[in-house]
Amino acid sequence: MEDKTKIRLTAAEISGVWSQYINDTLSVCVNTYFLKNIEDEEVRPVVEFALKTAKENITIMKEIFLKEQFPIPVGFTKEDFNPNAPKLFSDTFILMYLRQMSILAMAANSAALGLVTRPDIVSFHKRVLQRAVQLQDLTRELMLKQGTYIKPPYITTCDEAEFVQTEKFLGGFFGSKRALTSIEITHLFLNSRTNSIGKALITAFAQVAQKKDVKQFLIKGKEIAQKHMNTFEHYLEKEDLPAPMGWDSSISDCTSFVFSDKLMMFHISAMITAGIGNYGMAMAASPRKDIALKYASLIPEIAAYAGDGAKIMIKHGWMEEPPQTDDRNQLIKK
């Protein structure tokens, strides 16, 4: 029988494993630091689970890279964090952060499973997805137990199924507008919460950043996140619906070296990429024209911000190149 693990990796399989490797090396750095500063013994096993999972993933991926004679990415190392730095985040924020990371991991690996074909790569992404679901369960259950889990808003249930009768359902840009649908509420709440977490993370990173251009980039990001939070909360509040809580108070006054500027820039850039995807999905799921247009107006702003971040990373030699196809024109010239 043919050994299917000897089949060449496709571009999708290479990119999925490469991206996961970079993310897991970052996870090892962040969670190792978290573990040294945990005070709540109920939170400790959750961080240990996240750290153990990332290390196991890295071992599996290194074997894949070596088998394929593919260069192992640099990612992030012990040089990119200080495990003995003072506590920067509260234990409650760490739980919320890990919950958000599990959501991103579930999305990334679900997408990868729709593209990969080689059995060992399929099994790997299934494993990562399963562990991400487990991490989501662990954080949710503990936050519910500790009373820190913020649920999306409740709405009144319908008496019976109904169909849209007129184009007024799509709304306009002026005058009265119909009430928000449950789907629109979900995306507004999600994007408000994501920006709230992002703002707190950016604020903390700005406190401990070393380089001036990195600090300025993070300060700008904090302002953008607040602006977007205000936008989403405005829609919710007009419907007398609660908005997610902020996390700024979960940050200490630490200004010591905690994470390298390289790690923090990559982390924020990755979250921006996920945010753009969230906005795109929300825009597609929002029939009300004013809401869809609002998302459409916000995407270019964060895309431009992501571009600024990329320029800083390139300037300092921090951006690791993803695998690329051969440049045929250059090969011909040789």
Residue 152 clears pLDDT 70, i.e. is over it: yes
CA–CA dist 305, 308 (Å, integer): 5
Please report where in the chains the tokens 């936050």 appear, as a residue.
Answer: 143
CA–CA dist 84, 58 (Å, integer): 23
Residue 2 clears pLDDT 60, i.e. is over it: no
Residues 141 and 188 reside in one and the same domain: no
Q: What's 170's DSSP letter? A: G
* Length, in residues, of the chain: 334
Residue 4 belongs to some domain of the structure: no
Residues 34 and 80 reside in one and the same domain: yes
Residue 154 belongs to some domain of the structure: no
Residue 128 belongs to some domain of the structure: yes
Residues 205 and 84 reside in one and the same domain: no
Which residue range is the domain that position 221 belongs to? 177-315
Residues 60 and 118 reside in one and the same domain: yes
Residues 275 and 191 reside in one and the same domain: yes
CA–CA dist 318, 266 (Å, integer): 8
Residues 262 and 138 reside in one and the same domain: no
Residue 5 belongs to some domain of the structure: no
Residue-wise pLDDT for 5-16, tens only, equals 678 899 999 999
Residue-wise pLDDT for 130-147, tens only, equals 999 999 999 999 999 999
Residue 205 clears pLDDT 60, i.e. is over it: yes
CB 73 within 8 A of CB 26: no
Residues 133 and 19 reside in one and the same domain: yes
Residue 201 belongs to some domain of the structure: yes
Residue 169 belongs to some domain of the structure: no
| Number of structural domains found in the chain | 2
- Give whole-number Cα distances, 320 to 22, 61, 174, 266, in Å: 9, 17, 47, 10
Residues 119 and 199 reside in one and the same domain: no
Residue 66 belongs to some domain of the structure: yes
Q: What is the CATH number of the domain that holds 39?
A: 1.20.1260.10
Residues 119 and 185 reside in one and the same domain: no
Q: What's 161's DSSP letter? A: -
Residues 93 and 186 reside in one and the same domain: no
Residue-wise pLDDT for 118-130, tens only, equals 999 999 999 999 9
Residue 96 belongs to some domain of the structure: yes
Residues 199 and 256 reside in one and the same domain: yes
Residue 86's contacts (CB-CB under 8 Å, 6 or more residues apart) are 37, 252, 254, 256
Residue 327 clears pLDDT 70, i.e. is over it: no
CA–CA dist 100, 116 (Å, integer): 24
CA–CA dist 10, 115 (Å, integer): 9
CA–CA dist 243, 235 (Å, integer): 9
Residues 238 and 289 reside in one and the same domain: yes
CA–CA dist 13, 18 (Å, integer): 8
CA–CA dist 309, 304 (Å, integer): 9
Give the pTM: 0.91
